[in-house]
Amino acid sequence: MKRILRPLIYIYGLLMLQPNRVRAQQQFDGAHSNYAGIGGVLWNPATVADNRYAIQLQIADFDAHGTNSAYAYTGPWSYLHPGADFNIQGTNATALASNQPRIFSVGFQLRGPGLLVRLGPKSGIALSTRVRTAFQGNDVSASLLQNSIEGFRTVSAWHNSSFNLNYNTVTERSLTYGKVLVDTGPHFLKVGLTGKWLIGLGAAYAQGNNIDYETSPSAYAGGNGILFLHQLQGAYGYSYPEETPRLDLQTARRLLLGQNATGSGWGGDVGFVYEYRPRRTVGGAPVNKELSANDTHRTYLYRLGVSVTDIGAITYRNNTVAVNNISLTDAAVQPPSYIGIDLSNYETRIPQIFQSAGTPLENHFTTGLPTALNVDFDYHFSRYLYLNASASQGLRIRYAIGTRTFSWLSVAPRLETRRFELAFPLSMTNNYRQFAAGAMLRLGPLVVGSNNLVALWSGANAYGANVYGQVSLLQILASKQRKRTARFPH
């Protein structure tokens, strides 16, 4: 949680990929596989019904990322050259050519343990736990970001700038139920619903809109400039456990278990999956009654899934401060106010930056979950070959309090068998602005992958990267799959 409310001068250190940086938005990570199991529930809760597994006990599932739309890392470090110097300043960072508002996100999620149980051919349930954290910037003006990185040393004036920063760490316990509604002829339809109990472990936000400002040189050590705010409409708030400043392993364990939480709330996911299974009938008569229930999963020619995930919010009430409706006119911010902010001083520094002394304080605020509309279309070419097209559209408005999903779309050819799977997603990420090429590998109970292998291995013009993995202790298929597979009628 350290530095979470540092002004834009400190954002740069969070923007670029480092080996230990982390992810919040969900991209292609095996969730669209027929063998995703409990992993597919995050993407669409309807996948729990008619699942390939009779029982799946997941030990852990992690997903980490760091991404931005402002700077590309062009330095010598990469996973092929791990001994090279990793410096994200100076000539190692190249500004991306665009005047569009910038976004960035660093985050991490850890799931497990989790349990999926097939209740029969028509229904299934899943129980899971998850901890996720993210620090994001949205609608950050390009000039404001660059000036903050440079310490406001460039003498000039700018108008109509903006920024929206959000941090949130939450633990959730979820229950998913799915059921088959239609299984008639070639038509197959199932629906699912997830309920989530949310335990907020800490959150913060800082917003500025309609910002007119100019900078002036300063005699302060380091050469950072004085920031003159001619106009600013803003707000900020934060909530954290009392023991955060003296965080140790035992304290971290208590927080992850939801103890001493500062907020709580409820959330949910809802979705449906439709499959067109033409080979199940010929002239209206069933042709594969002898196949097991699990074999018939292979019979769809195409599959369409639609879901809305992360509906809900968390309200923070403990150790919470919120200041809204801040309006500044012709205010000066000196370098000592925005340099060196950490957990030991931000409670005094943030009011200095926003000059909110005398502004009414509130003792609660609400952060929304990163609500998203997810759609995927899966086409079954042959026995083991599939082509998946997926998209996730973030539904949170840009000035909402809370983290959000940065929209993306992906196309991924996939080779899929019971114990082996290989997929190569090609994606447009960061609100459809940047291209990424990745890979996913499944070997029995182990899944590993990345959505941006170029960033991990070449280090050339990397604007971010992610890695993910999953391991299960127990995976029992619903029934033995037979080698025979009828051809699709076209």
Domain ranges within the chain, ordered by starting residue: 8-139+180-205+237-322+356-477
Rounded CA gap, 335 and 72, in Å? 27
38: Cβ–Cβ under 8 A, 6 or more apart, which residues?
48, 56, 58, 114, 115, 116, 126, 128
Helical ranges in 37-141 per DSSP H = 39-43
Higher pLDDT, 345 or 413: 413
Q: Please, are residues 425 and 450 in contact by the beta-carbon 8 Å criterion? A: no
pLDDT of residue 254: 61
pLDDT of residue 288: 47
Label residue 369 by pLDDT band (50, 70, 90).
Answer: very high
pLDDT surpasses 50 at 26: no
Residue 408's nearest CA partner among 425, 420, 383, 385 is: 425
Higher pLDDT, 186 or 26: 186
Q: How far apart are the first and last CA of the chain?
A: 56
**pLDDT tens per residue, range 103-146:** 888 888 888 789 999 998 899 999 999 888 888 999 998 888 88
**pLDDT tens per residue, range 266-311:** 999 999 999 999 864 444 445 444 344 444 445 799 999 999 999 9
Residue 207's nearest CA partner among 149, 144, 157, 143 is: 144
**Do strands 302-316 and 263-276 pair parallel, antiparallel, or not at all (unpaired)?**
antiparallel
